[in-house]
Amino acid sequence: MIKNQTLHDASQAQRLLEKQRKARFYPAFHLAPPTGWMNDPNGLAYCDGRYHVFYQHHPYDEHWGPMHWGHMTSHDLVHWQHQPIALVPGDAFDRDGCFSGCAVNDNGVLTLIYTGHVWLQGVGNDGAIRQVQCIATSEDGLHFTKHGVIVTPPDGIMHFRDPKVWKQNGRWFMVVGARDANDRGQVLLYSGTSLFQWRLEGVLAKADRWLGYMWECPDFFPLGDKYLLMFSPQGMTPEGYRYRNRFQSGYILGRWQPDHPFTLEQHFQELDSGHDFYAPQSFVTADGRRLLFGWMDMWESERPTQADGWAGCLTLPRELSLDAQGRVRMMPARELQALRREAHTLPAFSLKNQRRRLGISALQAEIHMTWDIQKSQAERFGIEIAVSDDRRYVTRFYVDTQSRRLVLDRSQSGLGVGGYRSVTLPDGDTLDLRIFIDRSSVEVFVNQGETCLTSRIYPPTEGRGIALYAENGEAYCQTFTHWQMASIYPEP
């Protein structure tokens, strides 16, 4: 067995830096590292009465570095506890990083399958790397022992990472993201009789000319009567309002059964249309629902929290479903209602060429509201959140009736961020919105998860008001409820 040699050092660095972390942007009800860097969610699993969320972590400072696996647990998907660092790089097969992967419950043994990463010609040189799939196990769900390499890449493949494993009809299956010799992304499928013995079944799906040079973080699972292949393609070209981020995350739908090809029935669709959503991974709850977490950030974006000693957080847990039109819907996990505290409800009202400031806070809140689209004739109407007293800072989410779009506007959202993201205004007479606002983020769920927009914001913590408005016409708000949200973390 191969033992970790630097776990003590990483844990000690984490504890020391945590004492220096500033709180101004640190989330109240989103998962974030105790200190240092966080990116992809890894190893989402339910085992022996606990939910486990692992994540890509650099505990020594707030920048990306040699990847460790951070770890958090919960009994209810609401209240979370930081746990000891689970994986530390340093062995021959993962010398430069324990990259992304997954967790499974193997007859009561919590098992991590992850990518071991080695730079062959200098740190950061992606043209010369070695990536293999590795395994580690735990008897108590907290402390892990590495067992080395279980899968090496096929000939001609160098970028080979982010395994996702599941068991079906007594067999283990694994999908792995890859980049072929022609610089096109693909997902490879493996099967095995145990977690230590694997056979390559072939290419499950691959990119055409426009769907990216690398497919990261694949996930493959049944949803409704279809199979959903979820992945994060790198290298897509923006098309109008779509694919505006550095990298994307989305899915393709089709049909599949073991020992048969994956038959595509629907082309690639983005999962989230905001600025900050990447590397989602799904898991199954104790009662059988399919949920996911995503990384609520984006490569090459500004990160004002690094000045505070930390970077990165995860989205809310989101429940996935397939609607009658074959579209994936995402809604916040129902368990999150337990975080609601004082409610503030308004009766139906209209706004005409005016802005109505509400005497409630957008520091950590949930809002559920509906607009009457049929009756609203204003050219633009919506909600302003995190509004400073001098209106220098404000994040807007509004309906543009002329372009028939919903717009998330970050042009005044605070330190380092800007830009717009938008989606087509859905059909129907009513627009239903659930909006979650934390200290440095906003997540909008439109019409019961028909579409979602997730973005980071960094306004001052003082003020943080909420306003509703209508420009050049009248708009009708049918319902409005605001809740203060409690923290998911233990009291200090």
H helix and E strand count, the chain: 1, 32
> Is 323 among the catalytic positions?
no
367 burial via Cβ count (<10 Å: 0-12, 13-18, 19+): buried
How far is residue 59's CA from residue 35's CA, in Å, rounded to a whole number?
7
- Identify the CA nearest to 28 among candidates 79, 83, 85: 79
How far is residue 301's CA from residue 178's CA, in Å, rounded to a whole number?
24
How far is residue 468's CA from residue 67's CA, in Å, rounded to a whole number?
43
What residues does 109 pair with on adjacent strands? 106
- Does residue 133 contact residue 113 with C-beta atoms inside 8 Å? yes
Q: CA 489, 491, 437, 71: dihedral to nearest 10 degrees?
A: -20
- Does residue 315 contact residue 330 with C-beta atoms inside 8 Å? no
Written as one string, the DSSP assignment of 294-336 is: EESS-TT---GGGGGTEE--BPPPEEEEE-TTS-EEEEE-GGG
Q: How far is CA 484 from the centre of its chain?
A: 23
Count the neighbouring beta carbons within 10 Å of the beta carbon of residue 275. Answer: 26
Count the neighbouring beta carbons within 10 Å of the beta carbon of residue 106. Answer: 16
- Residue 466 exposure: Cα atoms within 13 Å on the Cβ side: 24
- Identify the CA nearest to 31 among candidates 62, 52, 49: 52
Residue linked to tokens 């105790």 = 34
How far is residue 206's CA from residue 439's CA, in Å, rounded to a whole number?
39
Spell out a b/e string for 39-55, using b for 16 or more CB atoms within 10 Å of the CB, else e.
Answer: bbbbbbbbbeebbbbbb
- Does residue 75 contact residue 118 with C-beta atoms inside 8 Å? no
Q: CA 105, 337, 230, 177: dihedral to nearest 10 degrees?
A: -50
Catalytic residue among 9, 40, 48, 389: 40
- Residue 18 exposure: Cα atoms within 13 Å on the Cβ side: 13
Please give the structure tokens belonging to residue 118.
Answer: 């080695």
- Does residue 67 contact residue 123 with C-beta atoms inside 8 Å? no
Catalytic positions are 40
